[in-house]
Structure 1
Amino acid sequence: MKLTSGYARVSTAEQTADSQRDALNAAGCSRVWTDTASGATTSRPQLNDLLSHLRDGDTLVVWRLDRLDRPLPHLLQTVEDLDERGIEFRSLTESIDTTTSGGKLIFSIFGALAEFERNLIRERTEVGLAAARARWRIGGRPPKMTANKIRQAHKMPSCKVRTP
């Protein structure tokens, strides 16, 4: 039996997921799993439970994409994992439905945008590091052993401190 299951998430205990649950129930979800967790956290016990219940042919429905996962690459990976398991995905607010050609196209565009963003970040990082190296700057944290501490260590009777 193919099931349509919903997932709702709120960020804090002061928020309520009632409107999300109402929309998911109206969309035909037989059960709705709800987490209270920040979008930045990866600990989502209810989502993990839901994902373990889904089978080939089932559908996962969310009220909005950012309720499932916040960073776009993670969201894309989650939906790709669902697709590999034969699980369909729908987002009500964005009208995305991976059971349709249009929904698959939209998600492919999201994937291309996420890859483009990752490449831009990598390019900017490489340019910034090259510019810093050209100015003889080294990235990272400052060393704990300052020049003064190294001199003091050398004065100690059994010093085996290597200088950088």
Structure 2
Amino acid sequence: MLIGYVRVSKADGSQTTDLQRDALIAAGVDPEQIYEDKASGKKDDRPHLSACLKALRSGDTLIVWKLDRLGRDLRHLVNIVHDLTDRGVGLKVLTGQGAAIDTTTASGKLVFGIFAALAEFERELISERTKAGLASARARGRKGGRPYKMTPAKVRLAAASMGQRGTNVGDLCVELGVTRQTLYRHVSPTGELREAGHKVLTQRR
């Protein structure tokens, strides 16, 4: 069975899927077997894509108009196609840069193999750059990793506020832009600094 997926980035009516639908129907997809999302390709939450992928069965072929309609990025696309391949499902791209991809054919599989190799190469480059960046930062006396959500100013405000009766913890969390868990990890309910709070106040800038 041929199953199609179409997507436009905006849901305000300024974009339509008509061109994509017409191309899929011309390729033999039953209009009733076309799934549609109106959301940015960078979003994880695309309910109809999830439904489409779940509906595919061994022997089916997923057809998309262009490659960028399906994956958030190359790695996401590679993961999707690897999963489909493991399930015996093919992928065919009708136009654009990925038009040579048709995993139901030997030549199409070869093209996708090149895409997969490029994605792996990209992962390795990112990993190498990250390690090099952390090593360079350590050599300059800086530690890598994500910045603290709690700044010194936020910790001081949290300690002062938690030490006062009548403080609404929920409102305080909204004001600070942190979760209750983060707040209590840094400051006790009575306003005393905890280890994480002391660490923020003494961290190097």
- TM-score (structure 1 length as normaliser): 0.85
Matching of residues 73-152 of structure 1 within 5 Å: 73-93=75-95, 94-139=99-144, 140-141=146-147, 144-145=151-152
C-alpha RMSD of the superposition: 2.4
AA at the equivalent of 2:111:
I
| SS of 2:62 mapped into structure 1 | strand
- Structure 1's consecutive aligned runs of 4 or more residues displaced over 6 angstroms after TM superposition are none
Task: Provide, for residues 83-141 of structure 1, a one-character-per-residue CA deviation record: whole Å limited to 9, x for no partner.
Answer: 11111110011131101111111111111100100110111111111111111122342
Structure 2: which 5+ runs fail to align?
A: 161-190, 200-205
| % identity of equivalent residues | 53
The equivalent residue for 1:22 is 22
CA contact (8 A) 2:93 2:102 kept: yes
Which of residues 4, 7, 26 is equivalent to 2:5?
7
Q: 1:123 to 1:29 in 2, by over 3 A?
A: same
Q: TM-score, normalised by structure 2?
A: 0.69
Distance 1:17 1:160, change over 3 A: closer
The aligned length equals 156
Conserved? CA contact 2:61–2:92, under 8 Å: yes
Partner Cα distance (2:92, 2:50) in 1: 18
Q: Give the superposition deviation at 1:145.
A: 3.7
The aligned residue for residue 63 of structure 1 is 65
